[in-house]
Structure 1
Amino acid sequence: MRWLLLFLEWFVDWARGTYWYLVGKRSSLCKPIQNSPGFQEVSRTAKDGVLKQEFSRDAVPANLDVIVVGSGLGGLTAAALLAKLGKRVLVLDQMDQAGGLCQSFNEKGFDFDMGFHNLGQVHENSLLKVTLDQITDGRLKFVELEPHVDTVVIGRGQESKKYTIYSGKRNMEAHLKKQFPNDAVAVEKLFKIMKICTKKIHMLCMLKLIPLWFARLILCTGLVDWISPIFKYSRSSTADVLRSLTSNKDLQTVFCHFFSGPSPKNTSCMINAVLFHHYKRGAFYPRGGVCEIPYHIIGLIQRHGGKVMVRAPVSQILVKNGSACGVTVNSGGVEVAVHAPVIISNAGVFNTFQKLLPPESQAQPAIMERLQILKLGKAFFQVFVGFNGAQEEFEVTSTNYRFFKNDDIDAMADEYFASSQERAPDRIPMMYVSFPSAKDPSSKDRFPGQTCMVIHSIVKYEWFEQWKDLPASELKAYEDYKMRFANTLFDWACEHFPKLKDKVAVIHAVSPLNMHGLRAPRGAMLSAAHDLERDQPVNIAKNRSSTPVKNLYLTGQDVVSCGYAGAVHGGIICASTVVDHALYIDLMLHKRKLKEKVSKKLD
C-alpha cells in the first residue's frame, strides 16, 4: 500500500510538473537576473535616502495593486516578488527607518544590529539564495563566516562544559560524533531526522497552498504518514524524540540550543531539526551590514514603480462588504485613507486581527478560530554592549555562543518563569551572545577600534508590565530593574570573555516594554510562539496566508516559521497566494537551471 501511494504521489507530481513545464505559464522568477553588480560601498546618507522615505499622500503611487503593512523581511519579500510580477506595491511602516529587525541603530557612536545575527542556507544556488537574488537583482552580497558556527556552554564556573558546532556538509555530523563518541548512533539518527525534515519541509508548506478541505482530508485519513515521516516529527515533541534516541542530557541540550521560547517538551522535533540543519552549509552575514538587506530589496521595489514609506503608522485596515480595500495612515495626527484591492499585513497575526481590523471583523468566528491556533511567544530582553578596542584584542570571532545554566532546559525554564519579579533577574537560565562587528569585514573600516556585543535572553512580560504607561520622569525604578537583568547577563558573558570587562564604553538594555518601537505585542519579538500545537500538521494547514477577510493576506514569521529564513518563506507563500500560483515552482526551476549551468562549466 505504501509503495502504491508513493508511486501515485510521484506520478501526480511528474504529470503536474511536465504539464506546467511544457505549457504552463511561467513568471519572471524563472528568468535569470540582469546586471548583477559586485558589492558597492554606499554611503550612509545614500542608504538613508532609500530606507527613510517619509510618508506623504502626494508621493503615494497612483493605481496601487497592493498595500503592505510593515517593512520587515516578510513584508519586503512579498512586496518585491509581487513587484517583479507586475504589481504596483506600496509598503508602509510606522518606524522612521524601513527594514523591521533588519536594521541597525546607533548608541553613543556604536552601531548595533537590532536582531539579525547571521543566515544559513544561502550557499550558492540554494533556494534561499536564489530567492534573495531575485528580490534584490543579485545586489545583496554575503560573507561566509568561520566554520565554527556555535559554541554551546552548559553550566557555570569550573563545572561548565563546552561543545562546538561546525558547519560543513559532512563535517557537522563528524565533529559532533567526536564530542559524543558514546552516542555516535544517536547522532546519526538525529542527522537522518534533520535530513528528512529539511528535504520534505516543502510538504508542510504545500499544506498552506492547497485547498484547506483537501489538506484536512489527507491529514485526517493518515495518508500523509505513508508518504513521509516529516508529519510524524512535526507533531512529536522534541523532548520525546530525543529521549527515545539518547539519555545524554548534554547531547539533548546541544540539539535544542536554538531556544526560541517554548521548552523542548512543548516544541516540535521538526522545527528543531530544521533550525539545527540551517547552518550545515555555512553561516553568512550581509557584506556592508544588515541594512544592506532592506536597502537592496527596496531598490528593486522602486525600480518596478513601487514605494516604501516610513513614519506611516497604519491605524486600521479598511474593510467594505467583507473585503479589505485599503488602510488609514495616521500622518501627523490626520487620518489619511489609501486604497488598493489587495492588503498584506506583516504586522503579525495578533496585531492584524486584534488591533488593525475594525471591531466587526475582529468579532468574526473565523477570525477567533484562527487566533486559537497560535499563542503569543515569549518576551525578549536584549543587551547591546560597545567596547573600546578591536576584536583581535578581545579574542572574539564570528562564532555565536549559547549559554545554559544546566542541561535540563525543561526544568530550568519552568523554574525561571515561576520566579517572582524580585528574584527573576538573578535566576536567568540561558542566553545567546554574538559579536556582529566580527562578522562584517567592512566593520573595521566603518567603525575602527570598536567591538560590539549583543546578548539575548527571554523574560516574562509581567515582570515589567507595571511600568508600561508611566511617563519617563517616573521610570527610575524601571531603569534600575532593567539594568539588573542587563548586568547579570553581561557578568555571565564576562566569565568567558574576561578581557571585555574593563573596556566597556556603552551598555544599552532593551526590555519587552519597548522592543525598538516595533509594537511587538508584549515584547514577543518572534511574534507567535513555535509551540507544539502550532506545528501540528492540521494547524500548519489552517495557519495560512489567506484570511477570513477577503483580499487580506498575512506574511512573515507567523505564516511559516520564526527567524529571517522563516520570514522570507512567509513572503513567498503570501505572494503565491495573492497571484494564485506556486512561486516555489518558478524558483525551483530557476535554481535547477543555475545548477545545470554550473555542471556544464565543470564538464
Structure 2
Amino acid sequence: MIQSYKKNPALAESYDSILIGSGMGSLTTAAILAKEGQKVLLLERHYTAGGFTHIFKRKGFEWDVGIHYIGEVQRENAVIKKLFDYISDAQLKWADMGDVYDKVIIGNKEYDFVKGVQNFKDKMLGYFPDEKKAIDQYVDLVFKAIKTSRKFYMDKALPPIMSKLFGARMRKPFYHFSDKTTDSVLKSITDNEELIKVLSGQYGDYGLPPKQSSFVMHAAVARHYFAGGSFPIGGSSEIVKTIDKVIEKAGGTILISAEVDTVVIENNKAIGVKMKDGKTFLAKNIISGAGVMTTYNKLIPEKIAEKHQLMQQLQTVKRSVSHACLYIGLDGSPEDLNLPKTNYWIYPDKIDHDTAIDNYVNDLNADFPVVYISFPSAKDPDWSNRYPGKSTIDIITLLPYGGFKNWDGTRWMKRGAEYDELKEKIAKRLLEVLYKHLPQTKGKIEHHELSTPLTTQHFINYDEGEIYGLDHTPKRFRQRFLQPRTPIKNFYLTGQDVVTAGVAAALFSGVITTSAMTGKNIIKKVMKG
C-alpha cells in the first residue's frame, strides 16, 4: 500500500519533478527544486524514508543506519553547513564531537585524529617525530587535491556544448590527483609504513584500501574532517524531518512504500514513472537517486538501455564493498557507561590495510581487516531525553557479499537457522573486539542484531549490498557518464554515484543535479542564504 511520510497526502496526477529514492541526494535535489518553486514527488520503496540517513527502532532503542559523523557543519561559512541550512530552513542542528573525532588503533597503539589542521599536524608529529616534512606535505597535498575538485564537479553541471569547449581544461588538474592511488601518493612522501597506515586509517569511510583507492577520494574524506566531526541533534531522522517540511511547503510529498517499476519514456523523453501497483505518475523531469547500477539495470526499459549502450557503461565501474553492522542496545546512559564520542578504527598489527583485506576475503575467519566502533547515543545531546538510562553502539566491519549468496532471494527476518547462526558467529567476534576496548560494556547489553549485505540489499536496493555505490578507484573518476545528465531527455541522476561516497557528497550531488536541470548557479544562492 502506498502511504505518505505524512498521513493522507493529497496526490496529484502530475508533478514538476519526480525523484526515485529518498536518500540524501534525492532529498537535497528535491528541497532545492522546491525552493525553485517546483512541486516534487519523492518515491521511496521502503516503509521509512531517508536512505542511509534513516533510523530503525527495536526493543526500546533506536539506531542511526548510515550517519556516524559529518564534517564541516560547525564552520558558519562552510559549503556543507550552508547547504544543510538551505535545504532544512536552518532547522537541522548539530552537536560537536569534541577535539578527538577519530581514534586509529593498531595493535596496542592509539593515534588520535584531532580537529584543527595545525593541531592535527602537531599530533601526528608527536607520534612520528622524524616525519615533519612528510606530514606537512601530506596536508598540503590533501588541500591541493580538493582545490582541483571544484572545477571538476562544476563541469558535470555544464551544458554539453560548454563542457565540450571548456571541460577538458577543467578536469585536467583533478586527474593529476585522481589517477594516483592513495598508497602511491603516501609512498611518494614517506617510507614509514606505520605512518602510511595511520594516515589512511579512515579508508573505511569510503571502503577501499590505499593501494586501490583514488587519492582524491581519500583527500575528500581527510579534508572533510580536519575541522572535526558532528552529529545531528535528535538523531539522523531529523534530516528527513526538517527537509520534508521544505518540500511540503512547496506542495511536494515524500511517499513511502511506493516502489517504482519503470521510468516511462516516449520518443527518448522521460515523462513519468510506472509503479509496481500499476499506477502512473507524470512529471516534466524524472530524477533517479537509486544509484546508477540499479537505475540502468532495473528502472530503464531494456530497449532504451540497449540503444544508449548503458550496460556497456556499467562495465567500466565496480560496486563498492559490502559490510556488516552490529547494532547494540545497552542498559545504562552514555555517562554511566563512560562511552566516548570519538569513533574507533581498529586494525590488526604488523600488516598493511590491503594485505589485511586480502587475507580476510580469502578466509572470513582471519582477523577483521577493520573494525569501526561508533557511539551515537554519546554523540547526541538529546539522546537521554528520548531514551533515559539507555545507550547504543554501532560496530561495522567489511563483509563480502559472496558469503551470503546462498540466501539471495530469501525474505528479510526469515532467512533460516543457518543464516542466523552465521550472523551470531560474526556478532560474537565483533563483541569480543568491543569488550577488549571497552570492558565496561560487558554484561550491559540488552539487545544486539547484525545487518549483513542482504540487509543493505533489502533496504537500499543495491544488488550486492554495497554501501558506497561505486568503487572509488582512479578509473571511476575517468567515467564521464557519472554525471546528472543522461542520454534520455528530462531524465537525470543524483546521489553519491554522481560525486563520491558519503552523506556530504550526496548532499553536494543535489547541487550539481539541480544546476544541470535549471541552468542556474545554485551554489551562489546557497552561499548567499
Provide the TM-score with structure 2 as the length reference. Answer: 0.94
1:340 to 261, 283, 287: 283
How much does 1:469 deviate?
A: 2.6
Shift in alpha-carbon separation, 1:70–1:426, aligned structure 2, 3 A:
same
| 1:425-440 aligned within 5 A | 425-440=365-380
Shift in alpha-carbon separation, 1:418–1:217, aligned structure 2, 3 A:
farther
How much does 1:425 deviate?
A: 4.1
Contact 1:54/1:310 (8 A) holds in 2:
no
Question: Which residue in 2 is equivalent to 1:556?
Answer: 495
Provide the TM-score with structure 1 as the length reference. Answer: 0.83
| 1:163-178 aligned within 5 A | 163-178=111-126
1:151 to 2:103 alignment: yes
Contact 1:367/1:548 (8 A) holds in 2:
no
* SS class of match (1:264): coil
Q: Deviations over 1:78-122 (max 9, x none)?
A: 000011011111111011121112121112111111111111011
2:437 to 487, 496, 501: 496
How much does 1:180 deviate?
A: 1.4
Distance in 2, Cα, partners of 1:216 & 1:552: 20
1:133 to 85, 104, 113: 85
Question: Which residue in 1 is equivalent to 2:388?
Answer: 448
Distance in 2, Cα, partners of 1:109 & 1:283: 27
Shift in alpha-carbon separation, 1:189–1:216, aligned structure 2, 3 A:
farther
Distance in 2, Cα, partners of 1:473 & 1:563: 30
* SS class of match (2:236): coil
Quick check: 578-587 or 447-456, which moved more? 578-587
**Structure 1 runs (4+) greater than 4 angstroms displaced:** 211-220, 222-225, 471-474
Contact 1:377/1:528 (8 A) holds in 2:
yes
Q: Deviations over 1:427-471 (max 9, x none)?
A: 321121100000111101111111110011111111011012346
| 1:468-547 aligned within 5 A | 468-470=408-410, 475-515=416-456, 517-536=459-478, 539=479, 541-547=480-486
Question: Which residue in 2 is equivalent to 1:42?
Answer: none
Distance in 1, Cα, partners of 2:462 & 2:143: 33
| 1:60-459 aligned within 5 A | 60-61=11-12, 63-122=14-73, 123-155=75-107, 160-211=108-159, 215=163, 228=173, 230-259=174-203, 260-330=206-276, 334-406=277-349, 407-419=351-363, 424-459=364-399
Q: Which amino acid aligns with 2:257?
A: R
Contact 2:495/2:509 (8 A) holds in 1:
yes
Distance in 1, Cα, partners of 2:89 & 2:410: 46
Q: Which amino acid aligns with 1:53?
A: K
Quick check: 569-578 or 230-239, which moved more? 230-239
Distance in 2, Cα, partners of 1:380 & 1:215: 37
Q: Which amino acid aligns with 1:80?
A: A
Q: Which amino acid aligns with 1:110?
A: F
Quick check: 308-317 or 512-521, which moved more? 512-521
Distance in 1, Cα, partners of 2:287 & 2:431: 39
Distance in 2, Cα, partners of 1:474 & 1:366: 36
Contact 1:61/1:307 (8 A) holds in 2:
no
CA RMSD after TM alignment: 2.0
Question: Which residue in 2 is equivalent to 1:565?
Answer: 504
Contact 2:499/2:509 (8 A) holds in 1:
yes
1:577 to 507, 516, 520: 516
Distance in 1, Cα, partners of 2:407 & 2:272: 35
Q: Deviations over 1:516-536 (max 9, x none)?
A: 622122111211111221123
Q: Kindly name which structure, 1 or 2, has the bigger radius of gyration based on alpha carbons.
A: 1
What percentage of aligned pairs have identical amino acids?
Answer: 31
How much does 1:218 deviate?
A: 6.2
Contact 1:136/1:296 (8 A) holds in 2:
yes
How much does 1:184 deviate?
A: 1.1
Q: Which amino acid aligns with 1:320?
A: E
Shift in alpha-carbon separation, 1:208–1:483, aligned structure 2, 3 A:
same
Shift in alpha-carbon separation, 1:63–1:317, aligned structure 2, 3 A:
closer
> Can you give the 5+ residue segments of structure 1 that lack an aligned partner in the other structure?
1-49, 592-603
Shift in alpha-carbon separation, 1:242–1:125, aligned structure 2, 3 A:
same
Contact 2:157/2:516 (8 A) holds in 1:
yes
Distance in 1, Cα, partners of 2:315 & 2:161: 19
Shift in alpha-carbon separation, 1:137–1:289, aligned structure 2, 3 A:
same
How much does 1:474 deviate?
A: 6.0
Which has more helix, going by share of residues? 1
Distance in 2, Cα, partners of 1:127 & 1:319: 36
* SS class of match (2:434): helix
What number of residue pairs does the alignment pair up? 521
